[in-house]
């Protein structure tokens, strides 16, 4: 198959992947007693549009980057999982508009999801690796981690904080975009939070800057900027098709290679601004 170039890839992504979140009117949820805890409207009708956005990967290469001011200058900032700002403001900034978390974070005791203040700023968006079919009932009866139990508990404790759950269709639509643009078969696991969050922000923002998803000259085996743990798989991928995600983002980048090298910065257009 022909290798698509940046603008074509961007249009394909815009046309074939749609950010969807669970709403209280969707089966099987609408038939469950806690349905009213789910938002009545999808994320895209509640959040944004934002002019300029930052997606902050959790990569170790953000350490000593000094990018904090630049990141905070954006209108909206997306962060991932348990990535803190406190104590790391110089490198990653302090603004959090949206935090995208996987279901493992919600379920594991170490992350103190229900009690830590880390999760209380901005809107939360959660996701769980679902079966490829994206069938909601099948998934609901067998989630990877107990995302729905934890969601209900969190909502009871923080009823006013906006909290969405990604529709599994979105995961697999993005997976398909990656697979269709690679020459070899990729593992049938959902994309990383990094890629999900990047496309999520492309749906909400006029322009998206992604930091240290494509590693800069600071590239390191340090997994996260906030932890003393070394593993190259954090940057290259194991479970997630991370290297393929990065390949696709590299092809779609509208910024310069120099920006990647010095700032770990990629510039992507928002879907609203694209003429396809
Ligand atoms: O590590 P994680 O990801 O939370 O990182 C968020 C996103 O940043 C990008 N990243 C991170 C580190 C790095 N060196 N390079 C990067 O490019 C990736 O795009 C990544 O998605 C996840 O995707 O949800 C993930 O979550 C962790 C873990 O569950 C959480 O951090 C909570 O502890 C996963 N790690 C493990 O399961 C051990 C990771 O595989 C994916």
DSSP state, 161? Answer: S
Structural domains in the chain (count): 1
Is any atom of ligand 1 closer than 6 Å to the C-beta of 216?
no
Query: For 92-101, how does the pLDDT look when each residue is reduced to its tens digit (9 = 90+)?
Result: 999 999 999 9
pLDDT at 1 over 80: no
CATH code (residue 15):
3.90.1480.20
Is any atom of ligand 1 closer than 6 Å to the C-beta of 80?
yes
- Residue 4 pLDDT: 85
Query: For 216-265, how does the pLDDT look when each residue is reduced to its tens digit (9 = 90+)?
Result: 999 999 999 999 999 999 999 999 999 999 999 999 999 999 999 999 99
With respect to residue 77, please indicate whether it lies within any of the assigned structural domains.
yes
With respect to residue 1, please indicate whether it lies within any of the assigned structural domains.
no
- Residue 78 pLDDT: 99
CA angle 214, 219, 220 (to 5 degrees): 130
Q: Output the CA 243–ligand 1 centroid distance in Å.
A: 13
Per-residue tokens: 61: 């290469």
Is any atom of ligand 1 closer than 6 Å to the C-beta of 211?
no
Note down the domain range covering 38: 6-271
Query: For 71-82, how does the pLDDT look when each residue is reduced to its tens digit (9 = 90+)?
Result: 999 999 999 999
With respect to residue 276, please indicate whether it lies within any of the assigned structural domains.
no
**Contact yes or no for 59/215 (Cβ under 8 A):** yes
Q: Which residue has the tokens 């930052």?
A: 54
Q: Output the CA 146–ligand 1 centroid distance in Å.
A: 19
Is any atom of ligand 1 closer than 6 Å to the C-beta of 93?
no
- Note the ipTM here: 0.99
With respect to residue 228, please indicate whether it lies within any of the assigned structural domains.
yes
């Amino acid at each position: 198959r022909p290798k698509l170039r940046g603008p074509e890839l961007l249009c394909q992504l815009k046309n074939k992947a749609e950010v969807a979140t669970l709403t209280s009117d969707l089966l099987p949820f609408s038939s469950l007693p806690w349905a009213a805890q789910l938002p009545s409207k999808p994320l895209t009708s509640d959040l944004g549009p934002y002019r300029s956005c930052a997606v902050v990967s959790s990569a170790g290469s953000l350490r000593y980057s000094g990018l904090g001011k630049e990141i905070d200058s954006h209108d909206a900032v997306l962060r991932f999982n348990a990535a803190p700002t406190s104590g790391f403001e110089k490198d990653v900034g302090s603004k959090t508009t949206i935090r995208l978390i996987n279901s493992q974070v919600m379920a594991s005791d170490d992350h103190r999801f229900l009690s830590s203040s880390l999760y209380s700023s901005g809107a939360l968006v959660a996701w769980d690796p679902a079966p490829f079919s994206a069938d909601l009932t099948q998934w609901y009866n067998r989630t990877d981690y107990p995302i729905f139990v934890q969601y209900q508990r969190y909502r009871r404790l923080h009823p006013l904080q906006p909290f969405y759950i990604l529709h599994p269709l979105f995961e697999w639509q993005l997976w398909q975009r990656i697979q269709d643009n690679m020459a070899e078969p990729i593992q049938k696991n959902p994309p990383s939070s990094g890629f999900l969050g990047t496309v999520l922000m492309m749906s909400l923002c006029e322009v998206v800057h992604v930091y240290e998803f494509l590693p800069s000259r600071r590239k390191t085996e340090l997994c996260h900027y906030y932890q003393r743990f070394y593993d190259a798989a954090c940057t290259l991928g194991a479970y997630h098709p991370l290297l393929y995600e990065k390949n696709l983002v590299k092809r779609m980048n509208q910024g310069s290679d120099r920006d990647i090298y010095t700032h770990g910065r990629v510039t992507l257009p928002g879907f609203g601004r694209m003429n396809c």
